[in-house]
Structure 1
């Protein structure tokens, strides 16, 4: 009888119910309902965001003029922040005014596309994806 296996006994509904009841009681003992939230004093936190849709977000807070000035100053272009370049890479394009006043009527500086009959025909063919007019 050494090769005989033990039969697996399935518990009936009363035992299953008692096992579940014991499991639920253990869970209820270890659970704790938190309604007050606070910052962990042992952990350094720089900022705490507010909860979305909470009532305190609708309150008007006075604007901090110094903070707003710093934010607006940081968003400026480098030419408006500094009087001269801070790095060598900023030297390229620091003075961005054009050297020659661009006049649209001056044909020496502006070369617009001019279409004749044949160039217009070929441009239309190319826009349709045709490489050869004999196709």
Structure 2
């Protein structure tokens, strides 16, 4: 029985040593980031202030990185990237019409036509 207690104590010592080594490895490879930016892939919703609370409005510099990142995030993907990034971007990437539109060309414009059956009574 005394041997079993020594084995348990030995196992706990070994487990503690493994745990300490794991923590040292994690701390060696971790990086601390101090510069935070907004996620350009997420839409931003601006909320208005409460009407009963009056506080001075904050002014943001015109050339700040935050405003540039905000405008970049709100752009259409075809203006952000030179070519489609994903498969779903390929659908609708080119929005220019293949043929110039002519409203009087009856081949492409089928305006509503009324007949005796569809006419309102």
| TM-score normalized with structure 1 length | 0.44
| TM-score normalized with structure 2 length | 0.49
Higher relative contact order (CA 8 A, sep 6+): 2
